[in-house]
Amino acid sequence: QVQLAESGGGSVHAGGSLKLSCVVSGLPFAEYCLGWFRQVPGVERELGAIAGIDSDSITYADSVKGRFTISKDNSRNTLFLEMNDLTPADTGMYYCAADICTGFDTLESSYNYWGQGTQVTVSS
């Protein structure tokens, strides 16, 4: 059974930082594409960052480039998202996602495995 469990969300003031974690089980972690997506009510999930199989296969949404860093620890089956210089626009539910890499890995529809999400709230 595939399970993805996010943690690390919370409430911070603008300019603050958070580090999200996602522990993955039930699939070959090192062989899958992994990503973080954000969702706000009434809006589809949008890309945050994607980590492919290779260490250089990383993609960020333009809105988070230079502020967010995605990384993974294959020995712990854990995906991370370090978020710095947070703004109120970063507020939302953050979901961890995993699936076989397809070449369309920035798309929400490319992922069949999702966690329950962790809430990030940034106040001004």
- Tokens read off for 73: 């620890």
Instruction: Report pLDDT for 54.
Output: 77
Instruction: Report pLDDT for 106.
Output: 87
Half-sphere exposure of residue 53: CA atoms within 13 angstroms, side-chain side: 9
Residues of the chain falling short of pLDDT 70:
none
Which tens digit of pLDDT belongs to each residue from 57-86?
899 999 999 999 999 999 999 999 999 999
CB 6 within 8 A of CB 113: no
Identity of the residue numbered 57:
S
Instruction: Report pLDDT for 30.
Output: 92
